[in-house]
Amino acid sequence: MTLLEICIDSVESAVKAEKAGADRLELCENLLQGGVTPSPGKILRVIQAVTIPVRVLIRPRAGDFLYSQDELAVIADDIKFCATTDCEGIVVGALTAESEIEEELLNHWKSLADHKKLVFHRAFDLTKNPHDSCQRLINAEFDTILTSGQQNTAEEGLAVLEALQREYGS
């Protein structure tokens, strides 16, 4: 079965996406910049407006995925807020200066998420070693990875996607 997840940035677009047949929503702000964290009010209103699962993007700013300590604190606070809502999941990610995923940070986020589904976002596509990165996410019990196989499109990254699927499954 194919699942249709639609990225939305407003209550209106959430309602329209659900009516059009979306199975799940990813809520963010500033879609044209790759998405950033929506306001708490918008998160609550979207969750109230639809009956399908909503996952919330936690990303303090556009640009790269190397965050300062202050930005990581904001991410932690946003995860804690989302954990108090009826959202289904939290979409988050960060990289080290070496373009790696830090397991300690993943475990910290997991501890804050209060059993919400955790999704590692497209920062995955910028990691040095997708297999090592995937294993780190599995170790930290993340549920999903958003990736285009480290390329601009999933079609271009198909070889990496197939290799990850073979090695780690769904």
Q: Is pTM, for the whole model, over 0.75?
A: yes
3-state secondary structure of 24: strand
Q: Residue 82 class from Cβ within 10 Å (0-12 exposed, 13-18 middle, 19+ buried)?
A: buried
Burial zone of 72 (CB within 10 Å; 0-12 exposed, 13-18 middle, 19+ buried): middle
Report phi then psi at 67, rounded to 5: -105, 150
- CB neighbours of 2 closer than 8 A, spacing ≥ 6? none
Query: Quick one: average pLDDT of 143-156?
Result: 92
Joined tokens for residue 148: 């285009």
Are the C-beta atoms of 101 and 120 separated by less than 8 Å? yes
Which fold does the domain 5-168 belong to in CATH? TIM Barrel (3.20.20)
The candidate with the shortest Cα–Cα distance to 133, out of 167, 103, 88, is 103
Give me the residue spans of the domains in the chain: 5-168
Query: 78-131 pLDDT, tens per residue?
Result: 999 999 999 999 999 999 999 999 999 999 999 999 999 999 999 999 999 999
Which residue in 132, 130, 67 sits closest to 93, CA to CA? 67
- Distances from the Cα of 99 to the Cα of 40, 67, 93, 139, angstroms: 30, 12, 12, 18
pLDDT digits 0-9 by tens, 12-63: 999 999 999 999 999 999 988 889 999 999 999 999 999 999 999 999 999 9
Q: What is the pLDDT of residues 74-85, one digit of tens each?
A: 999 999 999 999
Dihedral pair phi/psi, residue 121, rounded to 5°: -85, -170
